[in-house]
Amino acid sequence: EKGNYRHFMQKEIFEQPTVVAQTLRSYIHQVDQSVALPQIDFDLSRINRVTIVACGTSYYAGMVAKYWFEQFARLPVDIDVASEFRYRDPVLEPGGLALFISQSGETADTLAALRHCKAAGQTIAVVVNVPTSSMAREADLLLPTHAGPEIGVASTKAFTCQLAVLAALAAHLAVKRGRIDREEEIAIVRHLVETPACLNAALAFDEEIFSMAHLIAPARDVLYLGRGPDYPLALEGALKLKEISYIHAEGYASGEMKHGPIALIDEAVPVIVLAPSGPLFEKTVSNMQEVRARGGKVVLISDADGIKEAGEGCIATIEMPKVHPLIAPLVYAVPVQLLAYHVACVKGTDVDQPRNLAKSVTVE
């Protein structure tokens, strides 16, 4: 079943261009170049607030979506991990959309949060990969990902498919709320359609990432930094590395580094910086300089412009294609997945069945 791949995780990483394309097909009308929901008769124009709830990697997809829903659709978004959300007595007012994100559709805490929101009169939307799951059955609005079965315990293709759905949903909400015009919608559709090709371009760095894995494998601690929608990607990068290589890793918002974690930096701590070039790039460059001034070893993941500007002095750089900000989190997911994967292979851990972890967490 693994074909030519060593592990399911590796196979699933490489499936991403195909499954993201497959997923996007149900959210894009190629002919009229518009974004649409699979349940076309479902009207989201009266939604006044979104509450996103999920766990683990699915939660990080939700964090990215918060940036998008706010920026493109100007919708206020609240987000929490399911185990906290349930017990903090959240304020849920009429007109709210509660959005649950889950690969399995069975995660106990997320499902309980869904039921809580349903009882509180929220409209329930779910982004799930298993169409027969409990969450899928209990939703008002089902937004499926078409990633196919994900076997590796570390989520990879489900994550990028979640992001694809959430990007389309952000664009759809923006249209419904009159926040973007027809021209912008067409431009977004074009960018979404280009995503699988961009994912392929990112996957082409596999060998390069493989050969830099030995730089990270001996580390005891690794820091991941990102800003804006790439901040959740830093969290996801750290989670992937922890899960399968057992190296302690933390993700931080680039600007938060000097508020504490910088105290950890020395020659032994690799710092992975996720930073597509753009208006905030300068700020990240100065965060990188702060790391380097303390002997920290920086791996910069950026595009050609970013690497030209800030690549010097890094122990390694990984050059991603230059993409629209809406696509960047999908594309930047690939190098962080590959890095975790190759580091785990260097360490010889059980990539598909990491210790202490289960694919689906159906207990609280």
Reply yes or no on whether 297 is catalytic. Answer: no
**CB of residue 225 to ligand M6R, shortest distance in Å:** 20
Instruction: Verify binding: residue 319, ligand M6R, rule CB under 6 A.
Output: no
Instruction: Verify binding: residue 361, ligand M6R, rule CB under 6 A.
Output: yes
Cβ distance to ligand M6R smaller for residue 65 or 154: 154
Instruction: Verify binding: residue 81, ligand M6R, rule CB under 6 A.
Output: no
Q: Pick the binder of ligand M6R from 10, 23, 51, 57 (CB under 6 A).
A: 57
**Pick from 115, 128, 194: nearest CA to 155:** 128
Q: Pick the binder of ligand M6R from 12, 185, 230, 243 (CB under 6 A).
A: 243
**CB of residue 171 to ligand M6R, shortest distance in Å:** 23
Instruction: Report how many residues bind ligand M6R under the rule CB under 6 A.
Output: 16
Cβ distance to ligand M6R smaller for residue 103 or 287: 103
Cβ distance to ligand M6R smaller for residue 272 or 288: 272
Cβ distance to ligand M6R smaller for residue 34 or 360: 360
Helix (H, G, I), strand (E, B) or coil at 259: helix
How far, CA to CA in Å, does 320 sit from each of 116, 167, 202, 301, 302? 41, 19, 6, 7, 6
The percent helix, strand, coil of the chain (3-state, each to 5) is 50, 15, 35
**What does residue 318 show for φ and ψ, rounded to 5 degrees?**
-125, 120
Q: Which range, of 38-46, 56-64, 83-91, 307-315, touches ligand M6R by CB under 6 A?
A: 56-64
Three-point CA angle 50, 73, 145, nearest 5°: 65
Q: How far, in Å, CA of 182 to CA of 272, rounded?
A: 38
The residue at minimum Cβ distance from ligand M6R is: 56
Site for ligand M6R in 98-117 (CB under 6 A): 102-104, 107, 110
The residues near 276 (Cβ < 8 Å, ≥ 6 apart) are 230, 302, 303, 306, 320, 322, 323, 325, 328, 332
Instruction: Verify binding: residue 302, ligand M6R, rule CB under 6 A.
Output: no
How far, CA to CA in Å, does 58 sit from each of 6, 86, 234, 287? 25, 17, 14, 28
Which is the catalytic residue, given 118, 322, 347, 359? 359
Question: Is-contact 303 321, C-beta < 8 A?
Answer: yes
Question: Is-contact 242 224, C-beta < 8 A?
Answer: no
**CB of residue 145 to ligand M6R, shortest distance in Å:** 10
**Pick from 166, 186, 161: nearest CA to 75:** 166
Question: Is-contact 327 17, C-beta < 8 A?
Answer: no
**CB of residue 233 to ligand M6R, shortest distance in Å:** 13
Cβ distance to ligand M6R smaller for residue 35 or 154: 154
Cβ distance to ligand M6R smaller for residue 108 or 141: 108
Instruction: Verify binding: residue 337, ligand M6R, rule CB under 6 A.
Output: no
Cβ distance to ligand M6R smaller for residue 10 or 287: 10
Here's the x/- map for ligand M6R, 141-160, by CB under 6 A: it reads as ------------xxx-----
Instruction: Verify binding: residue 56, ligand M6R, rule CB under 6 A.
Output: yes
- Burial bucket for residue 119 (CB in 10 Å: 0-12, 13-18, 19+): exposed
Instruction: Verify binding: residue 360, ligand M6R, rule CB under 6 A.
Output: yes
The continuous run of DSSP H or E covering 249 comes out as strand 248-253
- DSSP 8-state class, residue 96: E
Residues that bind ligand M6R (CB under 6 A): 55-58, 102-104, 107, 110, 153-155, 243, 357, 360-361
Residues with catalytic annotation?
359
